[in-house]
Amino acid sequence: TDVVTVTIDSGADDLTTLSVDFKSDDEPTLTSAQTTALRYDADAFVADDKGDLDVTGLANLTSVTVSGTAGDINIDANPNLTSVTISADAKDLYLVDNDNMTSVNVTGAKFGDIEVSGNADLATLVLNSTTALRSTSTSAAEKSVTLNVNSNPELTSLTASM
């Protein structure tokens, strides 16, 4: 609860369930200017940013849940992952190459760009999150986001109401 950063060791093969409640703007070492800058997403995904989550290559991971105020979320190449639930106010979401993923729930979440690609068993995808237009700096307003859904061979139903 109230996590600012998460580092997952690449050798954490016994990890089966991950549940993180972020509060990325609560890092005590941040200046007020740095805290304000967290709402800008100028660099896309960089795993060392406050609130960014990189969940990659975990052989036995089956479930991921993310809530709170997060940065970019990258969930990639987890061969036994079956379900993802995200209610976080996040930046961008990447769900890539999770071959056994069959369930994605993003009800209540906020995202900028979304990519869902290369998930072999995903048959139905409902993206009912809220679109979050974030500036990339104090002077540049974001006017659109990107939705990229491709190479999901079992996908027969896509609903996007962001």
Task: Tell me the per-residue pLDDT of 34-61, one tens digit each, with 9 for 90 and over.
Answer: 666 666 655 555 545 667 889 999 999 9
Beta pairing class for 93-96 and 147-150: unpaired
Place of tokens 């050798």: 11
| Residue 109 clears pLDDT 80, i.e. is over it | yes
CA distances from 88 to 2, 32, 73, 99, 136 (A): 12, 22, 10, 23, 19
DSSP E strands, 15-162: 17-23, 53-56, 63-69, 73-76, 83-86, 93-96, 103-105, 110-111, 114-117, 124-127, 130-131, 147-150, 157-160
pLDDT band at 6 (very low <50, low <70, confident <90, very high): confident
Q: Residue 121: what pLDDT?
A: 98
- The reply to whether the predicted model has a pTM over 0.85 is yes
Averaged confidence pLDDT in the chain: 86
Specify the range with the lowest mean pLDDT, choosing from 5-9, 94-98, 141-145: 141-145
| Residue 94 clears pLDDT 90, i.e. is over it | yes
Q: Residue 61: what pLDDT?
A: 97
Q: Residue 143: what pLDDT?
A: 77
User: Two tokens at 151?
Assistant: 């190479």
User: Two tokens at 29?
Assistant: 């070492």
